[in-house]
Structure 1
Amino acid sequence: MHIRVLGSAAGGGFPQWNCDSPRCRAARNGRLIRERRSQSSIAVSQNGQEWLLVNASPDIRQQILDNAVLHPRGAVRSSSIAAIALMDSQIDHVTGLLMMRESDQPLAIYCTERTEEDLRSGFPIFEMLEHYCGVRISHLPLDGAAVEPPETPGIRILPVPLTSKAPPYSSHRLDPRPGDNLGFVIDSPDTGKRAFYAPGLGEVDDRLKAWMASANIIMVDGTTWTDDEMAQVVGGKKTSREMGHLPLTGEGGMLDVLADYPLARRILVHINNTNPVLDPESAERARLEALGIEVSHDGMDIRF
């Protein structure tokens, strides 16, 4: 199994276009210039030829350019991205679909019925794409069944409903239900190796703990270090938990959760530009390293 981290930052990337905090400033033109990150997305393949894109971030064009495994091969108009799986209908995870409108065939997209509703109404990307390449939608089940996309042989995904809200433009915003947000258990029927991927994770219950315990690779939400980080750094009004992201520290934080899985490779994804772990010389990064927890970066290559 081969996972390529295309984008490792939260929405807005690092540095964020309108943020002049010291850390973003350093990522633009100073000490942290090599720590720049694009917005969250991964690609998965078993054979290294056909790739499943998991979420299509607004940065997808640059991410494809930066990762040769996703470059066209064969026909003049072609793509190594054979299918796309969406975890929700958030802007950060779907806007990149518009950059793929030049496809010479309908985009093969796997998502829940709730996500499709949002992307045909509140944020009608699917309707827009019908005027270009079109889309071919397959609904992801929510009953514990797994899906093996025929476009990406050897890859199996099992959708895991998460507790969170739909986007502000969704008609489901005030009526959260299973299917608005997902985590993925990604494995190979051939090898039995398994990854748990959840870039947005606000609550970890016993059901999710069981899936994490079964995984060789755990890639989870590392958005903020503290719950009040946004307020402290940029004057934000919402806490991390209120935004649907479990902070790394504090009682019951992500570090407490990950402590239960010392045998798995544990990797933080979806890192916000306010998070001090983006600085390799920070005390916070040193603490992670002492715990054996990795901070993902764009282009990170994971094989297992």
Structure 2
Amino acid sequence: MSAVLNCNITFIGGGNMAQALIGGLLARGLPATRITVSDPVEKIRLLLAEKDVHTTDDNLVAIRDADIVLLAVKPQYLANILKALKGQLEGKLVISIVAGAEISTIAHVLETERVVRVMPNTPALVQTGAHGLFAKEAVTLQDRELASQVMASTGLTIWVNSEAQIDAVTAVSGSGPAYFFYMMESMIRAGKNLGLDEKVATALTLQTALGAAQMAITSSNTPAELRKNVTSPNGTTQAAIEVFDHAHISQNIQAALAAAQKRSQELAQELSDSIK
């Protein structure tokens, strides 16, 4: 983390993910004076100003002294933002967390090869994110380390071997929290149907999800092995698993993630076409 503590970081966009990263960086010791946020919404600027970071609504002013520029805007606003910053980022590392924005598109418009693409996920808001990163060969090891340190302020960082794998990361971890929330919804509903009070069903479900995740993280066993350890022959868990298997739940989950990956590829192409 030491290298990034000596950098000036500018966020283009001050939404939830930017705020999570800013909070993580401040907690890791980055001085607030080294952070600048540019956002057109006054309410967001005022909120961030309470953290003593610099705020502005002028992107060109924001990047003036930056070592790292982090793009954290909605995809539909990216084209105009990139065009306004064209040729202005020489000597600066660009980190993009914009969904669907390919490195080649960003690099072409900004006229720089120092671009790292990141697919984060929303648990970054509670410092437990899972972030997939990719950069082309033009990005140095030092720049990769800086990008890792920025993103690690809110969770796990994993570098993938090709940009195409970012679409897989999107399917697994980018969209992944929603899959678990869906499972939680279903378990809470089932608990209510079985006679539990909603608050009781909710508390049991959420704590079970937390406990299972913690066991999987800390155990030397795989999730498959952990599941088998809980599944006694002819027991209650086996009865439930058999229903899942009969409904082809595993196959359907795999098909769902494949659909998410395909849609990620389509959105990336649509965004690239709109910017060109």
- Give TM-score, length-normalised by structure 1: 0.29
The higher radius of gyration belongs to 2
More strand by share: 1
**Higher RCO (C-alpha under 8 Å, 6+ residues apart):** 1
TM-score normalised to structure 2 length = 0.31
